[in-house]
Amino acid sequence: MIDAAERYLRGEMDEQEIAMFEELRKTNPEIDQFVVEHHLFVEEIERYGDLKRFKANMYDVHHSLKETGEIGDVKPKEKGMLVHMWDRYRKVIAVAASIAGLTALLISGLVMMFSPKAPISDIEELKKKVNNLEVSTKSQANVLNDVKKKIEPGTPISFGGTSFLIDGKGYLLTSSHVVSDASQVFVQNNKGQDFRAEIIYNDVKRDLAILKINDQDFKPLINLPYGIRKSASELAEPIFTLGYPKDEIVYGEGYLSAMTGFKGDTMSSQITISANPGNSGGPVLNKNGEVIGMLNARQRTAEGVVFAVKSQHIFRTIDELKRLDSIQNIKMSTSSSIRGMERTQQVKKIEECIYMVKVVMK
């Protein structure tokens, strides 16, 4: 049947056959339906084939033209156009800007009124006080690794936390409260090597800070093993974290227990995990190795209740940062290359990107 239909549609039948077939179609509605359907289908599959060929051709052309440099050379934004637009719409822009300004003031006032007051005593920020004696254990580690000491002996390290790379070029994310009041910041990797770092952005409101390693000894990484998750996470999702509550990296496991943070704060989420001072600034990862947040505080009045800044706010902060235009080249990957690996393997990859933060107070 299908053979006949196909020959009919392709016009491969002779006149007599066509007449017979058409008679068959007229008398038998089922066959007619079949032919119509088959016609549509064949058209569809032929269009599919056709488009596929066209796409292949197009990719070829794109690739070869790109290689010869005949396309893809684009000048940056043309100023002339913008100036022209500015001249034309100056008045409109002025009105819009003043309206926007007033609205912004109003909204920020409202937000100030209704937002949860800064957690003062109920909540404990997980940075840790570092005793002077730890400096000596560190210097031991430094000798072992044959690393030239960057922190002069006797420098009073006063607070510590955790940070993790968000861009292999040396951009680290940590909690704002970890590096507040810092005069100098050092970060130490899991091998005990110290690097100088500077704070390039500090967002107290979201409790996020970005550090940049400024040190010749730092070798940039091309790819990070984990990605930063852009979409929201699921309740009860299993999570894990890595951090430096002590002088050595510590692994912890738990689950996402609420979608909001302290007193309903929508910027963070609540996780149940064991965390200690020093864990602040550590990444919170899901089983696929995607960063879903950054650990920042725990509730004093309850056991195991910890809060993490949601990853979406990490993106928002970076976006704001880019607008400030000092740093345009931060690129955060959203894909994780360690999906599906055993946890021990994942941790092995991730721990190289987790740094201890050591702060010298002002």
Partner 1 sequence: MSNYLQESVLLKGLANNDKEAVETIYKDNYNLVQQLVINNNGTEDDARDIFQEALIILYQKAKSDSFELNCQIKTYVYSVSRRLWLKRLQYNKRFETPVDNFSEMVSVEEDLSVHEKMDRQYSIMRGAMGKIGEPCKSLLEAFYVHHKNMQEIASFFGYTNADNAKNQKYKCLMRLKKLFFAQYKNGN
Q: Is 78 or 325 the residue whose CB approaches partner 1 more closely?
A: 78
**Residue placing its CB nearer to partner 1 in the complex, 52 or 263:** 52
Tell me the C-alpha distance between 159 and 235, whole Å: 33
Closest separation in Å from C-beta 231 to partner 1: 13
Distance in angstroms (rounded) separating the CA atoms of residues 208 and 142? 29
Nearer to partner 1, 99 or 235 (CB): 99
CB of 58 to partner 1, least distance (A): 5
CB of 328 to partner 1, least distance (A): 13
User: In angstroms, what is the minimal distance from the CB of 45 to partner 1?
Assistant: 5
- Residue 297's SS3 state is strand
CB of 80 to partner 1, least distance (A): 8
The least CB distance from residue 112 to partner 1, in Å, is 26
Question: Could you tell me where the DSSP H helices lie in the chain?
Answer: 2-10, 15-27, 29-68, 79-114, 133-144, 176-179, 311-323, 343-350
Nearest residue (CB) to partner 1, 146 versus 325: 325
Burial environment of residue 185 by CB neighbours within 10 A (0 to 12, 13 to 18, 19 or more): buried
357 contacts 281 by C-beta, under 8 angstroms: yes
Radius of gyration of the chain (CA): 30
**Closer to partner 1 at the Cβ: 39 or 196?**
39
Distance of CA 66 to the CA centre of its chain: 30
C-beta of 17 vs 50, nearer to partner 1: 50
Amino acid at 116: P
By CB under 8 A, name the binding residues for partner 1. 2-3, 37-38, 41, 44-55, 57-58, 60-62, 65, 70-75, 77-78, 80-82, 85
